[in-house]
């Protein structure tokens, strides 16, 4: 069974909630990472998303176990999958981002204050991100959109009263 994600893995890891995302950037990456950060921080949405991921990805784990590869956590797979699709990135770019981009590594939960966190091989990324299919991403997307609509509804009712 794959691990979901430890909220506080150790004292050296930069907390995902503390990631500072630039708001004045026109690139797609910060917007995607802000959405992922919101999913991680919001307890209700977090539980629903990890429930979907556990249901879809954990049964496929046997395929990787036979190859002897250590599986990534569900959160890391989700971040890499969303970034790959959202940026229309190939695996080489995703490999670069996962190992070099500090903001993305912070959202993945692997960036440390010393800068010497976990690194991934290209094959590891391909094998793990390949477990995340389009149907799963669409299902998570629908959850996030529904949650966003709830937030907007709450804001509208509060501003009119």
Give per-residue pLDDT as tens, 65-92.
566 555 688 999 999 999 999 999 999 9
Hey, where are the domains in the chain?
Answer: 16-160
Q: Does the pLDDT at position 99 exceed 60?
A: yes
- Alpha carbons 10 and 31: distance in angstroms, whole number: 27
Instruction: Pinpoint the alpha helices (H) of 26-133.
Output: 28-41, 43-57, 61-67, 74-87, 91-100, 102-108, 122-129
Mean pLDDT of the residues in the chain: 85
8 A C-beta contact, residue 125 and residue 94: yes
Q: What is the DSSP-derived secondary structure letter of residue 130?
A: T
Q: What is the pTM of this model?
A: 0.83
């Amino acid at each position: 069974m794959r691990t979901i994600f430890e909220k506080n893995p150790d004292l050296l890891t930069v907390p995902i909630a503390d990631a500072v995302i630039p708001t004045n950037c026109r690139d797609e990456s910060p917007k995607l990472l802000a959405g992922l950060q919101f999913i991680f921080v919001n307890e209700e949405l977090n539980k629903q998303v990890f429930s979907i991921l556990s249901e879809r990805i954990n049964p496929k784990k046997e395929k990787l176990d036979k190859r002897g590869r250590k599986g990534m956590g569900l959160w890391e797979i989700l971040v890499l999958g969303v970034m790959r699709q959202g940026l229309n990135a190939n695996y080489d770019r995703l490999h670069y981002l996962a190992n070099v981009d500090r903001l993305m590594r912070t959202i993945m939960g692997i960036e440390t204050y010393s800068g010497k966190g976990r690194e991934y091989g290209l094959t590891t990324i391909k094998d793990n991100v390949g477990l995340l299919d389009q149907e799963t991403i669409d299902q998570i997307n629908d959850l996030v959109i529904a949650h966003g609509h709830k937030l907007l509804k709450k804001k509208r009712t509060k501003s009119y009263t």
